[in-house]
Structure 1
Amino acid sequence: MKKLLLLLTMTITFISCQEETKPVEPIEISAEDLHASVDKVTEIMIHDIFSPPVASRIFAYPNIAAYEIVALGNENYHSLVGQITDLTPIPKPDTISAINYDLSALVAHMELSKRLIFSEDRMEALRDSLYGVWEGKNPTVFKSSKDYGLLVADHIGEWMNKDNYPQTRTMPKFTVDADNPSRWQPTPPAYMDGIEPHWSKIRPFVIDSAAQFKPLPPPSFSMETNSDFYMELKEVYDVGKKIEEEGDESDEIAIAKFWDCNPYVSVTRGHLMFATKKITPGAHWIGITKIAARKTNSDFDKTLFAYTKTSMAIADGFISCWDEKYRSNLIRPETLINQHIDDEWKPVLQTPPFPEYTSGHSVVSGAASTALTSIFGDGFSFEDDTEVPYGLPVRSFNSFHEAAEEAAISRMYGGIHYRAAVEVGLIQGRNLGNFLVEKLHMKTDQRVADNLQ
């Protein structure tokens, strides 16, 4: 019996020693891991059908949470505390714990993303697959880094929940002024209510207020054929008829469809109505951010920096744009053309369910392109394959600004915006983007050459 006990003790000791001496591997977090998390968020948002403004909020907060962790662990990056509205310092990690800051950042990104979408199980599937790999390499570092990432996610989550978004969920629907011929009316085929009429009440990230970049008002409404407004309306109709005559080979149709980015397109088949799902305009620019980061071989921290700066520009762009949309409350071209010019005319694209002025694509593209130019430089050429999953070909651009200009004019080609909304909206977005670039100091060395190393 004593010999059996002795043998058992020796066996346990041997196993224990084996476990203690088992080599651990370093946990390396790459930019591709971050791309995978951002791509998963985009995929889920398409599945869950979030409106463009709400989608911009979903992108921004997880990026900020992750960025604040990186800024704590990398002296080349500066915290956003004191630079964006109401953000307070994240808690510091326990000094006795070994922390992999990039791992913690990615944990925070996935956790906060999970809280912002509906299909949590889809995000959890990605998270669990990564957790399994990391824990197997170094259990101690994994646990301490994960715990810290979750701690920061809680901190940013508390700040996030004070941005007035929860309150806007219970605010009244937008009331249509049917007696005023200049005011927006729901459009076919679904005749949906106006989306997010209270978005201007959301707390902005960088801009001082929703109205800080209030644009010039649209041309005065008039159906007199010599008025500026009517001539812009007629231009939309004429462009649409020209595109119709040229058919699907028209470059204008290709441009309109490439930048459509309507997350909910209603399709009618007999008595049935269903939706086709696509990315939002903000998600398209997040996709362009990924393309630029990959082209420059940006590491995890640089990639996160690009995502964070661009997503804040997009989010504040939507707040600024939606403030003007529901202030001017301008009627869409489709409604007036059908009432006064041609009752059978249809736009190339389905008209989105909210007022016309200014163009959301134009504002967001102007802001995002300005942020990206500040990171990767002007004259940054790229192949945009963001829309390939939706059956559209790659388009080439010589700069972010060139892409923004095409995105803006695509809305007039699509028949859903007047020229003023496109041109003024682009200026509105660029002014906002320039303000963001001048105000934020996120990186010690922001030279373009640094991003190309």
Structure 2
Amino acid sequence: MNRFKFTLFFATLILFSCNKEEQYAEVSAEELHASVDQVTNIMVHDIFSPPVASRIYAYANVAAYEIVAQSSSNYNSLAGQLNGLDSIPKPKRTSHLNYRMSALIAHIEISQYLIFSEDKMIQYKDSLYSNWKKTNSQEFESSMAYATEVVDHIKSWMDKDNYKQTRTMPKFTVQSDNPERWQPTPPSYMDGIEPHWDKIRPFIMDTASQFRPIPPPEFSMEKGSKFHDELMEVYTIKNKMVEDGDESEELQIAQFWDCNPYVSVTRGHLMFATKKITPGGHWMGITKIASKKAAADFEESVYAYTKTSLAIADGFISCWEEKYRSNLVRPETLITKYIDENWAPVLQTPPFPEYSSGHSVISGAAAKALTHIFGENFSFSDDTEVIYGLPVREFQSFNHAAQEAAMSRMYGGIHYRSAVEVGMDQGAKLGDYLVNTLKMKNSKDPIAAN
């Protein structure tokens, strides 16, 4: 009897140990959102320019998405769809492999490779990885091994996009004797940012000029000309906003969509910077908001981030091709020189040419992608800017948000109307092209309808 009891106890102990070892980690959409937020926070700290930030989001999201597509019949690989991307390797072994874990690891590792403050990402991931390893070490090691293979594959593809070559190209030459060409603006008078971004390999576009917009209005300081009328509109709007004070709706919109990653502030002899998210970071925040409202699972959220970030990344390439081609002067330069030397825009003028409006282009593109993912008339509360002391704004659709983001540039005094309206059209055309070209999700139903 005692021998029987001992045998039963020993068998139960073995069974319990096996069950404990076979526990698996739950990798949820919430962990994905937290990791994207961590990347955004680090990029704010590191002060990445909007185009460079968009590249980081896109590559990290594609890395995660390709693993999702490997494990789910509902999603198609982007190999052969994105320029230069070949199929990622298949896992050498599937025993104990957690595809969600591999996808999130790939997202984190690519992000860490592209940011500056690696220590901040290392601290974040070490805590996450440690928990996974404690839950099931075999699962973690297997998932990490596969993620590493995919990361190496994505890095090889990424390193051929001409980014490294553009780091050694010359600065932009300012035509200081030509009044219609862009001039550096106060307070920092910075050089033009990323003048060679048009040489970055696009993700889906054939060339950077594929969606080149119509030319801006012909430069003229004569009263009654279209260009002069648009210049005076910027001047007049700012003055009216000052009269209306903090209750001005235009002022609130301008501040909400500022998204300037580096604002120089001068106090006496001291100059310092205030940091914010980039326009792309704001739209990544909106993607999170929509995903959570739609109760999107991990795979659906990866899909949403990927499609939206691709629209944004190519939007910046398209826009920057036009910016440094048309090389148009900013309103602030002309107004302070010819109209009112004491005038200043509500928003700090960013350091690159005026036409077309970058925020307008990428907002138009992102809105098209998100509408395709979540459906028309998807209302949401945008709390992305709350951490910067701004209130939540309500939107009835992604297009509603995009329209407001675009107009914020004119309200802020940094763009003419044409740059805003044409920029939105430029982005919308790119967004339509992305939606109609990329075959990502087999189900045509919006996530919100699931």
- Fold match by TM threshold 0.5: yes
Q: CA deviation at 1:98?
A: 2.6
Measured in 1, the distance between the counterparts of 2:31 and 2:13 equals: 35
Residue correspondences, number: 440
SS of residue matched to 1:125: helix
Q: CA deviation at 1:315?
A: 0.2
Measured in 1, the distance between the counterparts of 2:420 and 2:266 equals: 29
1:219 paired residue among 214, 217, 220? 217
Instruction: Give the match for residue 341 of structure 1.
Output: 339
Instruction: Give the match for residue 7 of structure 2.
Output: none
Q: Does residue 269 of structure 1 match 2:241?
A: no
Measured in 2, the distance between the counterparts of 1:399 and 1:96 equals: 41
In 1, are the aligned partners of 2:375 and 2:448 still within 8 Å (CA)?
no
2:449 paired residue among 425, 448, 452? 452
Measured in 1, the distance between the counterparts of 2:62 and 2:23 equals: 29
Rate the CA distance shift 1:18–1:202 in 2: closer, same or farther, 3 A: same
SS of residue matched to 1:278: coil
Q: CA deviation at 1:307?
A: 0.0
Measured in 1, the distance between the counterparts of 2:370 and 2:94 equals: 38
SS of residue matched to 2:311: helix
| Alignment deviations for residues 25-49 of structure 1 (CA, whole Å, 9 cap, x no partner) | 1211100010011000000000000
1:356 paired residue among 354, 357, 360? 354
Measured in 2, the distance between the counterparts of 1:71 and 1:114 equals: 22
SS of residue matched to 1:383: strand
Measured in 2, the distance between the counterparts of 1:107 and 1:333 equals: 45
Measured in 2, the distance between the counterparts of 1:301 and 1:332 equals: 43
Instruction: Give the match for residue 4 of structure 1.
Output: none
Q: CA deviation at 1:316?
A: 0.2
In 1, are the aligned partners of 2:322 and 2:356 still within 8 Å (CA)?
yes
Measured in 2, the distance between the counterparts of 1:420 and 1:112 equals: 37
Instruction: Give the match for residue 89 of structure 2.
Output: 91
In 2, are the aligned partners of 1:297 and 1:452 still within 8 Å (CA)?
no
In 2, are the aligned partners of 1:380 and 1:398 still within 8 Å (CA)?
yes
Q: CA deviation at 1:408?
A: 0.3
Instruction: Give the match for residue 245 of structure 1.
Output: 243
Measured in 2, the distance between the counterparts of 1:43 and 1:232 equals: 36
In 2, are the aligned partners of 1:267 and 1:276 still within 8 Å (CA)?
yes
In the superposition, the TM-score normalised over structure 1's length comes to: 0.95
Q: Which amino acid aligns with 1:105?
A: A
SS of residue matched to 1:224: coil
In 2, are the aligned partners of 1:370 and 1:433 still within 8 Å (CA)?
yes
SS of residue matched to 1:396: strand
Instruction: Give the match for residue 367 of structure 2.
Output: 369
In the superposition, the TM-score normalised over structure 2's length comes to: 0.96
Q: CA deviation at 1:185?
A: 0.1
Rate the CA distance shift 1:332–1:21 in 2: closer, same or farther, 3 A: closer
**Unmatched tracts of structure 1, length 5 or more:** 1-13
Q: Does residue 232 of structure 1 match 2:230?
A: yes
RMSD: 1.5
Measured in 1, the distance between the counterparts of 2:433 and 2:399 equals: 16
1:35 paired residue among 18, 33, 36? 33
Instruction: Give the match for residue 75 of structure 1.
Output: 73
SS of residue matched to 2:265: strand
Q: CA deviation at 1:247?
A: 1.2
Q: CA deviation at 1:90?
A: 0.5
What percent identity do the matched residue pairs reach?
65
Rate the CA distance shift 1:152–1:234 in 2: closer, same or farther, 3 A: same
Measured in 2, the distance between the counterparts of 1:217 and 1:260 equals: 25
Instruction: Give the match for residue 430 of structure 2.
Output: 432
Measured in 2, the distance between the counterparts of 1:19 and 1:128 equals: 26
Q: CA deviation at 1:214?
A: 0.3
Instruction: Give the match for residue 284 of structure 2.
Output: 286
In 2, are the aligned partners of 1:332 and 1:416 still within 8 Å (CA)?
yes
In 2, are the aligned partners of 1:372 and 1:400 still within 8 Å (CA)?
yes
Measured in 1, the distance between the counterparts of 2:207 and 2:252 equals: 36
Runs of 4+ in 1 over 2 A off after TM superposition: 14-24, 95-98, 450-453
Q: Which amino acid aligns with 1:290?
A: K
Measured in 1, the distance between the counterparts of 2:333 and 2:38 equals: 37
Q: Which amino acid aligns with 2:131?
A: V
Q: Which amino acid aligns with 1:401?
A: N
Measured in 1, the distance between the counterparts of 2:310 and 2:369 equals: 9
**Unmatched tracts of structure 2, length 5 or more:** 1-11
In 2, are the aligned partners of 1:26 and 1:138 still within 8 Å (CA)?
yes
Q: Which amino acid aligns with 1:240?
A: K
Instruction: Give the match for residue 297 of structure 1.
Output: 295
Counterparts of residues 19-168 of structure 1 (less than 5 Å): 22-95=20-93, 97-168=95-166
Q: CA deviation at 1:356?
A: 0.2
Q: Which amino acid aligns with 1:232?
A: E
Instruction: Give the match for residue 9 of structure 2.
Output: none
Q: Which amino acid aligns with 1:244?
A: V
Q: CA deviation at 1:305?
A: 0.1
